[in-house]
A and B are shown apart, each in its own frame.
Chain A
Amino acid sequence: MTTKEYESYYVPSQSHWPIVGAVALFMIAVGAANYVTDIKNEVSGYGGYLLLAGIALVIYMVVGWFSNVINESMAGKYSRQMDNSFRQGMSWFIFSEVMFFAAFFGALLYARTFSIPWLDGAGNNAETAAVLWPEFTASWPLIKTPGGTETTAMGWYGLPLINTILLLTSSITAHFAHVALEKNKRSQLKAWLGFTIILGLTFISLQVLEYSHGYSEEMQLYLTSGIYGNTFYMLTGFHGLHVTLGCIMLIVMFFRVLKGHFTPENHFAFQATSWYWHFVDVVWVLLFLFVYIL
Chain B
Amino acid sequence: MTTHTIDESLDDAHHDHKMKGIKRWLYTTNHKDIGTLYLWFSFIMLLTGGALAMVIRAELFQPGLQIVEPDFFNQLTTVHGLIMVFGAIMPAFTGFANWMLPMMIGAPDMALPRMNNWSFWILPFAFAILLSSFFMESGAPNFGWTFYAPLSTTYSNGSTAFFVFAVHIMGVSSIMGAINIVVTIMNMRAPGMTYMKMPLFVWTFFIMAYLLIAVMPVLAGVVTMVLTDTYFGTSFFNAAGGGDPVMFQHIFWFFGHPEVYIMILPAFGIVSTIIPAFARKKLFGYSSMVYATGSIALLSFIVWAHHMFTTGMPLFGELFFMYCTMLIAVPTGVKVFNWVATMWRGSMTFEVPMLFSIAFVILFTIGGFSGLMLALTPVDFQYHDTYFVVAHFHYVLVTGSLFSIYAGAYFWLPKWTGHMYSDSLSKWHFWCSLISVNLLFFPMHFLGLAGMPRRIPDYALQFADFNKWVSIGGFAFGLSQLIFLAVVIKCIRGGNKAPAKPWDGAEGLEWTVASPAPYHTFSTPPKVD
Query: B314 contacts which chain A residues (CB < 8 A)?
Result: 123-124
Question: Residue-by-residue, is A81-109 near B (CB-CB < 8 Å gives 1, otherwise 0)?
Answer: 10011101100110111111011101100
Complex: how many Å from CA A9 to CA B10? 10
Q: Does B2 contact A (CB under 8 A)?
A: yes
CB distance B165 to A12 under 8 Å? no
- Residue among A16, A21, A36 making CB contact with B27, cutoff 8 Å: A16
Do A11 and B113 touch across chains, with their CB atoms under 8 A apart?
yes
Interface centre among A1, A21, A107 (most CB of B within 10 A): A107
User: B187 to chain A: which residues have CB within 8 Å?
Assistant: 81, 84-85, 88
What is the size, in residues, of chain A's interface with B at 8 Å between Cβ atoms? 84
Of B169, B218, B232, B247, which contacts A102 at CB under 8 A?
B218
State the CA gap A147–B186 with chains docked (Å): 52
Question: Which of A197-205, A224-232, A250-258 faces chain B?
Answer: A224-232
List A112-162 residues whose CB lies under 8 Å from chain B: 114-116, 118-119, 123-124, 132-133, 142, 145-147, 149
A85–B112 Cα distance when bound, in Å, is 7
CB <8 Å contact, B251 and A18: no
**Shortest Cβ distance from A260 into chain B, in angstroms?**
22
Q: Which of B237-245, B349-357, B461-469 contacts A (4 or more CB under 8 A)?
A: B237-245
Given A3-B6, A88-B182, A111-B244, residue A17 in contact with residue B227 (CB < 8 A): no
Counting residue pairs across A and B whose Cβ atoms lie within 8 Å, the total is 268
**Chain B residues, Cβ within 8 Å of A114:** 244, 247
Name which of A3, A86, A227 has the most chain B CB atoms within 10 A of its CB.
Answer: A227
Most chain B CB atoms below 10 A, which of A19, A65, A103, A145: A103
State whether A115 touches B242 (Cβ < 8 A). Answer: yes
A92 touches B183 (CB 8 A): yes
Name the residue of chain B whose CB is nearest to the CB of A88.
B183
**B179, B213, B215, B228 interface centre (most CB from chain A within 10 Å):** B179
User: A224 contacts B188, CB within 8 Å?
Assistant: no
Size band of the B side of the interface?
Answer: 35 or more
Inter-chain contact B5/A5, CB cutoff 8 Å: yes
A25 in the interface, Cβ–Cβ < 8 Å? Answer: yes
Instruction: Let me know if A75 and B162 touch, CB within 8 A.
Output: no
Which of A1, A2, A22, A99 is within 8 Å of B214, CB to CB? A99
Mask of A42-70 contacts with B, CB within 8 angstroms, 1/0: 00000000000000000000000100000
Inter-subunit contact A103/B236 (CB<8 Å): no
* Bound CA–CA A103/B253 (angstroms): 12
- Whether A71 is near chain B, meaning CB under 8 Å from some CB there, is no
- Assuming the contacts A22-B118, A40-B231, A104-B221, asked whether A14 and B125 have C-beta atoms less than 8 A apart, the reply is no
Is residue A248 contacting chain B, with contact meaning CB distance below 8 A? no
With beta carbons under 8 angstroms apart, the residue of B10, B19, B161, B250 that contacts A14 is B19
Given the interface pairs A3-B5, A114-B244, A146-B241, the reply to whether A18 lies near B118 with Cβ below 8 Å is: yes
State whether B169 touches A25 (Cβ < 8 A): yes
Shortest B131–chain A CB gap in Å is 13
Given A5-B5, A12-B29, A33-B129, A146:B240 Cβ within 8 A: yes
Chain B residues with Cβ under 8 A from A5's Cβ?
Answer: 3, 5
Are A115 and B239 in contact (CB-based, < 8 A)? Answer: yes
In the complex with contacts A16-B26, A224-B234, A3-B7 CB distance below 8 A? yes
Instruction: Check if A227 sits within 8 Å of B241, measured CB to CB.
Output: yes
Tell me whether B218 and A100 are in contact (CB under 8 A): yes
A226 near B241 with CB under 8 A, answer yes
The answer, yes or no, to whether A74 is at the interface (CB within 8 Å) is: no
Distance in angstroms from A115 CB to nearest chain B CB is 4
- Are B235 and A33 neighbours in the complex by a CB distance under 8 Å? no
| CA distance in complex: A36, B244 (Å) | 23
Q: Give complex CA distance A29, B4 in Å.
A: 46
Which partner residue on chain A sits nearest B109 by CB separation?
A: A11
A219 at the A/B interface (Cβ < 8 Å)? no
CA distance A1 to B11 in the complex (A): 11
Residue B23, interface by CB 8 Å: yes
What is the chain B residue whose CB lies nearest that of A86?
A: B112
Q: Do the beta carbons of B231 and A36 come within 8 Å of each other?
A: yes
| A30 in contact with B27 given A13-B17, A85-B187, A89-B112 (CB within 8 Å) | no
Q: Are B250 and A110 in contact (CB under 8 A)?
A: yes
- Whether, in the assembled complex, A261 has its beta carbon less than 8 Å from a beta carbon of chain B, the answer is no
Name the residue among A2, A85, A224 with the largest chain B CB count within 10 angstroms. A85
Docked Cα-Cα span, A139 to B133, in Å, equals 42
Interface residues of B (CB under 8 A from A): 1-13, 15, 17-19, 23-24, 26-29, 107-109, 111-115, 117-118, 121-122, 125-126, 128-129, 158, 161-162, 164-166, 168-169, 172, 175, 178-180, 182-183, 186-188, 213-218, 220-222, 224-225, 227-228, 230-236, 239-244, 246-247, 250-251, 254, 314, 520, 523-525
A-B contact pairs, 24 of them (CB 8 A): A4-B8, A4-B524, A7-B3, A11-B11, A11-B520, A12-B12, A13-B15, A14-B27, A14-B28, A18-B114, A29-B125, A75-B10, A88-B186, A99-B217, A100-B217, A100-B220, A103-B217, A104-B225, A107-B236, A111-B244, A115-B244, A119-B242, A146-B240, A228-B242
